[in-house]
């Protein structure tokens, strides 16, 4: 197949899933064309089957807001016509699904019928999408998609609850590529962070409010009071400055390191003992899956799709959103005993294997074929 993939090219979960999916499809011999405004963060190598088309938005003094959606639709028309694509797959509804619908309509005037699949990732529904600012366009473009997928049953339920959906939604969970995410021998790094063999806890995110990063810090304070430990805060975003301030006011700065955005996240996960994800809302929790693949159990909230990933008492624990005391107590239970920690680490890997890329990729390929055949 010749597949066009539209996504946000950043470190965000939807962009990561789109890029990893495209790479895996290219490995299977499909031709994959990424269409976005800059090179996707994880598209960092050459493959004969991978192509990148940049959407450039022309600025003009009249524009307070440059019309990215129009530029994207025009680029889609151009790429579909000249590369003779079979299908478009857009990740994150806003504004990709409506741009794809517009491109599809324009292409019909050239006698080209191209189907498009929209994958909903989370905040495009739960936070931003259901806001009246975008809701009519999101509803319309989901219903006009030739195929719609969500990354969890929970997100499918949320979509059907908040929007008037007339289209069938297929759940295809996120996946993990074990050729990248697996335990790496990084003992020297572990020694540098935890010279006295302290436990290492980790949080990775975009530090937005929805991630409740302050809960991570407060939870860690309680854990640190009982168990010698260090906390790695990986990523960057609007809450980071507040979190750094919170560490100072709680007097735990010497035990917390803010590492900023990191490429080799699997290496940092490889020295970690426990992953913390107390999110307010999480459609899937890809970062927790990446941790589990590197044998790191997870303490998470029970929001959204997290119960579809984390298995309470097996590869981690779940608590109600905001229940920092419960999360800390469960973290201490895992960390205070070597044998329990070892078992949870093994179980984390076992659970991650349920989401092996090799198992999930065929679901997407079959879905594309079904959508193309229905045209």
Q: Give the Cα-Cα-Cα angle 40, 369, 69 (nearest 5 degrees).
A: 40
Cβ(207)–Cβ(238) under 8 Å?
Answer: yes
Closer of 14 and 213 to ligand GMT (Cβ): 14
Shortest Cβ distance from residue 39 to ligand GMT (Å)? Answer: 17
Distance CA(303)–CA(307), nearest Å, equals 7
DSSP per-residue codes, 29-56 = T-EEEEEESS--TT--S--TTEEEEE--
Distance CA(18)–CA(32), nearest Å, equals 11
Closer of 4 and 12 to ligand GMT (Cβ): 12
Q: Which residues pair with 176 in a beta bridge?
A: 356
Shortest Cβ distance from residue 186 to ligand GMT (Å)? Answer: 25
Cα torsion at 148, 151, 157, 159 (round to 10°)?
Answer: -50
Closer of 49 and 302 to ligand GMT (Cβ): 302
Residue showing the smallest CB distance to ligand GMT in the complex? 122
In the chain, the largest separation of any two C-alpha atoms, in whole Å, equals 68
Secondary structure of residue 84 in the 3-state scheme: coil
Nearest CA to 159 among 178, 175, 180, 143? 143
Shortest Cβ distance from residue 138 to ligand GMT (Å)? Answer: 14
Shortest Cβ distance from residue 211 to ligand GMT (Å)? Answer: 7
Closer of 146 and 290 to ligand GMT (Cβ): 290
Distance CA(77)–CA(58), nearest Å, equals 17
Q: Angle at which helices 93-108 and 135-144 pack, to 10 degrees?
A: 50
Alpha carbons within 13 A on the beta-carbon side of 239: 20
Closer of 101 and 284 to ligand GMT (Cβ): 284
Alpha carbons within 13 A on the beta-carbon side of 283: 26
Contacting residues for 248 by C-beta, under 8 A, at least 6 apart = none
Report the b/e string of 22-40 with b at 16+ CB within 10 A.
Answer: bbbbbbeebbbbbbbeeeb
The footprint of ligand GMT (CB under 6 A) covers 12-14, 17, 92, 121-123, 126, 151, 174, 206, 208, 210, 281-286
Closer of 115 and 285 to ligand GMT (Cβ): 285
Shortest Cβ distance from residue 230 to ligand GMT (Å)? Answer: 24
**Eight-class DSSP state of 253:** G
CB atoms within 10 A of CB 105: 12
Shortest Cβ distance from residue 15 to ligand GMT (Å)? Answer: 6
Closer of 7 and 79 to ligand GMT (Cβ): 7
Secondary structure of residue 205 in the 3-state scheme: coil
Shortest Cβ distance from residue 117 to ligand GMT (Å)? Answer: 14
Closer of 124 and 198 to ligand GMT (Cβ): 124
The conformational region for residue 76 under phi > 0 = left, psi -120 to 50 = alpha, else beta, is: alpha
Shortest Cβ distance from residue 96 to ligand GMT (Å)? Answer: 11
Shortest Cβ distance from residue 12 to ligand GMT (Å)? Answer: 3
Closer of 284 and 344 to ligand GMT (Cβ): 284
Closer of 198 and 290 to ligand GMT (Cβ): 290
Shortest Cβ distance from residue 283 to ligand GMT (Å)? Answer: 4
């Amino acid at each position: 197949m010749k597949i066009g993939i539209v996504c946000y090219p950043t470190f965000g979960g939807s962009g990561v899933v789109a890029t990893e999916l495209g790479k895996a499809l290219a490995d299977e011999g499909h031709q994959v064309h990424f269409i976005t405004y800059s090179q996707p963060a994880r598209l960092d190598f050459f493959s004969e089957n991978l192509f990148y088309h940049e959407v450039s938005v022309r600025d003009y003094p009249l524009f307070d807001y440059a019309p990215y959606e129009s530029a994207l639709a025009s680029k889609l028309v151009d790429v579909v016509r000249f590369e003779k694509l079979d299908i478009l797959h857009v990740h994150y509804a806003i504004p990709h699904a409506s741009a794809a619908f517009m491109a599809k309509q324009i292409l019909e005037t050239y006698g080209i019928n191209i189907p498009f699949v929209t994958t909903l990732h989370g905040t495009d529904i739960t936070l931003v999408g259901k806001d009246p600012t975008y809701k009519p366009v999101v509803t319309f473009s989901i219903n006009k998609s030739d195929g719609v997928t969500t990354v969890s049953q929970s997100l499918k339920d949320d979509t059907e609850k908040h929007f008037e959906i007339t289209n069938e939604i297929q759940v295809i969970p996120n996946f993990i590529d074990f050729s990248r995410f697996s335990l790496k021998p990084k003992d020297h790094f572990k020694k540098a962070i935890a010279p006295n063999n302290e436990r290492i806890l980790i949080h990775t995110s975009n530090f937005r409010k929805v991630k409740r990063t302050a809960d991570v810090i407060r939870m860690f304070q309680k854990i640190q009071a009982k168990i010698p430990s260090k906390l790695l805060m990986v990523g960057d975003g609007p809450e980071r400055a507040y979190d750094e301030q919170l560490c100072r006011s709680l007097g735990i700065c010497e035990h917390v390191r803010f590492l900023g955005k990191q490429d080799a996240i699997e290496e940092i996960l490889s020295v970690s003992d426990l992953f913390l994800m107390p999110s307010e809302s999480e459609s899937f929790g890809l970062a927790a899956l990446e941790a589990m693949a590197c044998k790191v159990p997870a303490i998470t909230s029970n929001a959204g799709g997290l119960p579809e990933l984390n298995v309470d008492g097996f590869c981690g624990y779940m608590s109600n959103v905001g229940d920092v005391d419960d999360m800390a107590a469960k973290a201490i239970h895992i960390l205070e005993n070597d044998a329990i920690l070892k078992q949870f680490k093994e179980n984390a890997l076992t659970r991650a294997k349920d989401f092996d890329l090799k198992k999930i990729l065929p679901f997407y390929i079959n879905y594309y074929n079904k959508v193309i055949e229905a045209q």
